[in-house]
């Protein structure tokens, strides 16, 4: 097959953006040129690679196979370019990181310190729920993924780099905030506001409660830590959240951490990537930076 590397990049851009227009914009070509080149790719392969439904591109099975192939080739080329830049004394390239939503409270700061050292590196940061990060992990779209509950059905290189304690919070006006110790059973009368099913935080909470045969009275399930904090501050109930989501200063948010026996729940942050994946030089450097800087960040905030 006579498909150029530029055409592969264009097809990959279409797969990632979900549109021909997005692919044209990403690869800096006109839309007519993009459309013509993509048709040429399909004709060369000889089977349908995609269809356009409601202005959105949907890849066929062959299209997904080609996207995976193109992504592997592009990643290898990017890694080669980074190695050449290293030989020249440069640090340039792109780093792709996907994180679950709770990690957004500290990962940008770690990325900031990394960019201060390597200002020529471009960062792509995807902040998603756990399902979104898992999808990107399965498709090998990023250099590294950060989450609290890595999946068990994917072979991964997994490094724990920071604790993720889960604490119980209540509105600061709640009488429980004045208690020095609270038994878990005393929370039976409280209404709980928890993260949505499938989130890493919720999985850890459910496992903790199941182990202690405690069944919370559930009032709300929300997909946002901010929404949960506002609901708690408004007196709708109590919640269990990552301590990172409190910015280490819950009082400023009209909520307080309750001193419940058995809490905080021990959890950890993991940086993961698929087994067999060869990290680019930039990803390797960031991986090392993450492990070092997270310890410093932890000393300052926890």
24 with 56, same domain? yes
Write the Ramachandran bin of 55: left for phi over 0, alpha for psi from -120 to 50, otherwise beta. Answer: left
188 with 154, same domain? no
Which are the contacts of 56, defined by CB distance < 8 A and separation ≥ 6?
A: 18, 19
Q: Distance between the two ends of the chain, CA-based, in angstroms?
A: 56
Q: What's residue 86's pLDDT?
A: 65
CATH number of the domain enclosing 275: 3.40.190.10
* Separation of alpha carbons 141 and 11, rounded Å: 15
138 with 286, same domain? yes
User: Is 61 a member of any domain?
Assistant: yes
Cα four-point dihedral sign 161, 239, 187, 182: positive
Residue showing tokens 């992504």 = 71
User: Is 83 a member of any domain?
Assistant: no
pLDDT in tens, the chain (302 residues): 688 888 888 988 898 888 888 888 888 889 889 888 998 898 889 888 988 877 788 899 998 999 988 888 888 888 787 777 765 555 667 899 999 988 988 888 888 888 888 888 888 899 999 999 999 999 888 999 999 999 999 999 999 998 999 999 999 999 999 999 999 999 999 999 999 998 999 999 999 999 999 999 999 999 889 999 999 999 999 999 998 888 645 455 689 999 999 999 999 999 999 998 888 888 888 999 998 888 776 676 55
46 with 58, same domain? yes
CATH number of the domain enclosing 52: 1.10.10.10
249 with 211, same domain? yes
252 with 172, same domain? yes
User: Is 79 a member of any domain?
Assistant: no
Q: What's residue 209's pLDDT?
A: 95
* Separation of alpha carbons 73 and 55, rounded Å: 28
Q: What's residue 248's pLDDT?
A: 46
Q: What's residue 275's pLDDT?
A: 94
Using the CB atoms, write b or e for 138-175: b if 16+ within 10 Å.
eebbbbbbbbbbbeeeeebeeeebbebbbbbbbbeebe
Angle at 141 between CA 90 and CA 116, to 5 degrees: 35
* Separation of alpha carbons 87 and 82, rounded Å: 9
User: Is 81 a member of any domain?
Assistant: no
User: Is 245 a member of any domain?
Assistant: yes
177 with 251, same domain? yes
Number of domains making up the chain = 3
What stretches of 125-199 show up as alpha helix (H) in DSSP? 130-138
Q: What's residue 213's pLDDT?
A: 94
User: Is 78 a member of any domain?
Assistant: no
User: Is 84 a member of any domain?
Assistant: no
**φ, ψ of residue 234 in degrees (nearest 5):** -80, 0
User: Is 205 a member of any domain?
Assistant: yes
How is 101-115 classified by DSSP, letter by letter?
GGGGGTHHHHHHHHH
Which are the contacts of 128, defined by CB distance < 8 A and separation ≥ 6?
A: 98, 99, 100, 101, 136
43 with 107, same domain? no
* Separation of alpha carbons 42 and 57, rounded Å: 14
Query: Considering the entire predicted model, what is its pTM?
Result: 0.69
Angle at 72 between CA 66 and CA 76, to 5 degrees: 145
Contact 142, 279 (CB under 8 A): no
* Residue 118: burial class (beta carbons within 10 Å; 0-12, 13-18, 19+): middle
Structural domain range at position 12: 5-65
177 with 139, same domain? no
Q: DSSP character for 266?
A: P
């Amino acid at each position: 097959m006579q498909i150029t590397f530029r055409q592969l990049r264009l097809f990959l851009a279409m797969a990632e953006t979900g549109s021909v227009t997005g692919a044209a914009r990403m690869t800096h070509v006109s839309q007519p040129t993009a459309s013509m080149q993509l048709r040429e790719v399909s004709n060369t392969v000889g089977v349908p690679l995609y269809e356009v439904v409601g202005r959105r591109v949907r890849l066929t099975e062959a299209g997904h196979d080609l996207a995976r192939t193109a992504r592997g080739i592009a990643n290898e080329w990017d890694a080669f370019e980074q190695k050449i830049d290293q030989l020249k004394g440069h640090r340039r390239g792109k780093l792709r990181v996907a994180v679950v939503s709770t990690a957004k409270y500290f990962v940008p700061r770690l990325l900031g310190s990394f960019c201060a050292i390597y200002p020529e590196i471009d960062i792509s940061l995807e902040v998603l729920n756990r399902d979104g990060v898992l999808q990107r992990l399965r498709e090998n779209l990023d250099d590294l993924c950060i989450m609290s509950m890595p999946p068990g059905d994917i072979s991964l290189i997994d490094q724990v780099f920071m604790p993720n304690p889960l604490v119980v919070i209540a509105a600061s006006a709640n009488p429980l905030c004045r208690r020095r110790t609270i038994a878990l059973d005393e929370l039976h009368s409280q209404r709980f506001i928890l993260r949505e099913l499938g989130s890493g935080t919720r999985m850890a909470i459910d496992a903790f409660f199941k182990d202690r045969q405690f069944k919370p009275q559930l009032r709300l399930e929300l997909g946002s830590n901010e929404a949960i904090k506002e609901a708690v501050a408004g007196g709708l109930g109590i919640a269990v959240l990552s301590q990172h989501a409190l910015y280490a200063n819950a009082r400023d948010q009209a909520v307080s951490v309750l001193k419940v026996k058995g809490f905080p729940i021990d959890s950890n942050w993991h940086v993961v990537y698929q087994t067999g994946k060869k990290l680019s030089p930039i990803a390797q450097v960031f991986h090392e930076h993450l492990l070092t800087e997270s310890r410093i960040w932890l000393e300052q905030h926890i």
